[in-house]
Amino acid sequence: MSAVAEAASRVLIENWRGAYTVPASGLYPHQWSWDSAFIAIGLRHLSPRRAQLELDSLFSAQWDDGRLPQIVFNLRRDDGYSPGGSFWHSERISGTPPVSTAGLIQPPNHAMASWLVHLSDPAESRRRGFLDRAYPRLARWHDYLRDRRSGTSGLAQVIHPWESGMDNSPYWDAPLAAMRDDYRGHIPRPDLRHAAADHRPSNADYGKYLSLAARYRDHDCDDTDGENPFRLEDPAVNALWARSEIALAEIADEIGADPVPHRARATELTVALESLWHPDLGTYTARDLVSGELQPYRTVSGLIPLLVPGIIHADELLVQLHGPHFALGQVALVPSHDLIAPTFDASRYWRGPSWFNTAWLLAEALHARGNLDAARMLALDMATSAMLNNFPEYIDPHSRSPRGALRFSWTAALSLDSITRLGMPE
């Protein structure tokens, strides 16, 4: 095992909590939805059974309506993170699982992860019936997105910045500024005990986050509330959904279910994604469904549609990725926001720093598109940047300095996966 693989494995072992992995001990003491899927992708190289368990434990927190919750809380650590289980009180709502969860969701990368976990040891996966258990859960999760979260465009809507996984992206600035309500209660910030204030969202951001979350909670997390002040279609969320439908078709094929509806939905989503193309910016971007406006920003989310095989604007996205806005190969990984925009901030959360999950997604996309050198370069950059800084949550794209938490699970998992699959000479 290489030094990177060994060090990454140690992080994953340290953050394992018996049936799932915390994103980082301290800052994130619970199970997060899309983190678990990314973590399983790395864990499969250590133990396919552990990777299956990671996903099984998230699936066991599925709501009756099909949603996979953003967070599954460990109530023994409820004072360690805000808002926690005592904010959501999910047990009040009918159709919720016996564990305490948030009501919001996160991006749908789970079918993609389940298929990769299966492929790491198909015999073991079949013996344990992993995909037979996962398939109905994943199918209901995707049905939830279609039935409860999609409007006329067919794309899924996020109703809170946290649902995008890219919490304080500039995409959300105008919609949050247009909100009339703000949170009136105390705003706890236990996160600031573990990360620098200028690496995290501001208190003003948090006021809006809590106000939106409390509103949704007080409507029993009912998606028929058309008055929600925050409703956007995000490119990465929908690209991951389309890519996960393709994975679900592979899973259906493997277990003898019908893959055709999943392929059809992937095609519909691929076509629908084009409504998020911003011709002047040369990228996909988020649409605010309240104002009807496409958000005028280049962010890494707008590049993630490269993962979807049939998009029309792949060549323009590749130009964008290599050009001055994201400077692939000249800065660390892929910045979360346009390097030359006035809103770029090299340190603050999703407003500039480079993240390892988006680098992994883009390395996958480049590899699938035959850009093997660029994919391998990104994979090696992930391994180097992770090792150099003790597996940081995110890094300054110019200086590579660590930002946020250290010994962060998806940084370890995805560096391990990349170096194992893409980084080694063939």
Give me the active site residues, please: 167, 393
Question: By C-beta, is 32 or 344 nearer to ligand 2M8?
Answer: 32
> 163: which DSSP letter?
G
What backbone torsions phi and psi does residue 397 show, to the nearest 5 degrees? -65, -25
Residue 334, both tokens? 């892929």
Query: What is the CB neighbour count within 10 angstroms for residue 192?
Result: 13
CA torsion, ordered 87, 90, 91, 93, to nearest 10 deg? 120
Question: By C-beta, is 130 or 216 nearer to ligand 2M8?
Answer: 216
As measured in angstroms, the least distance from the Cβ of 384 to ligand 2M8 is 22
Question: Looking at 4, 5, 20, 28, which residue binds ligand 2M8 (CB under 6 A)?
Answer: 28
As measured in angstroms, the least distance from the Cβ of 95 to ligand 2M8 is 22
Stretch touching ligand 2M8 by CB under 6 A, among 27-35, 109-117, 133-141, 279-287: 27-35
Cα separations in angstroms, 210 against 176, 205, 213, 376, 424: 12, 9, 5, 40, 44
Are residues 242 and 309 in contact, defined by beta-carbon separation less than 8 angstroms?
no
Question: By C-beta, is 32 or 135 nearer to ligand 2M8?
Answer: 32
Radius of gyration of the CA atoms of the chain, in A = 20
Q: Which residues contact 177 (CB under 8 A, 6 or more apart)?
A: none
Cβ burial, residue 255 (10 Å; 0-12/13-18/19+): middle
- Binding flags for ligand 2M8, 328-367, as an x/- string (CB under 6 A): ----------------------------------------
Report the amino acid identity of residue 265.
R
Residues in 114-173 at the binding interface with ligand 2M8, rule: CB under 6 A: 162, 165, 167
Residue 233, both tokens? 């279609």
Are residues 221 and 93 in contact, defined by beta-carbon separation less than 8 angstroms?
yes
Looking at the DSSP bridge assignments, the partners of residue 299 are 337
Question: By C-beta, is 56 or 393 nearer to ligand 2M8?
Answer: 393
Q: Which residues contact 426 (CB under 8 A, 6 or more apart)?
A: none
Distance (Å, whole) CA 103 – CA 96: 9
As measured in angstroms, the least distance from the Cβ of 125 to ligand 2M8 is 25
As measured in angstroms, the least distance from the Cβ of 274 to ligand 2M8 is 26
As measured in angstroms, the least distance from the Cβ of 339 to ligand 2M8 is 20
Residues in 60-79 at the binding interface with ligand 2M8, rule: CB under 6 A: 70
- Binding flags for ligand 2M8, 178-217, as an x/- string (CB under 6 A): -------------x--------------------------
As measured in angstroms, the least distance from the Cβ of 1 to ligand 2M8 is 26
Question: Looking at 35, 245, 338, 396, which residue binds ligand 2M8 (CB under 6 A)?
Answer: 35
Stretch touching ligand 2M8 by CB under 6 A, among 31-39, 150-158, 332-340, 372-380: 31-39
Question: By C-beta, is 251 or 362 nearer to ligand 2M8?
Answer: 362
Residue 110, both tokens? 């789970």
Distance (Å, whole) CA 244 – CA 112: 5
**Contact set with ligand 2M8 (CB under 6 A):** 23, 28, 32, 34-35, 70, 162, 165, 167, 191
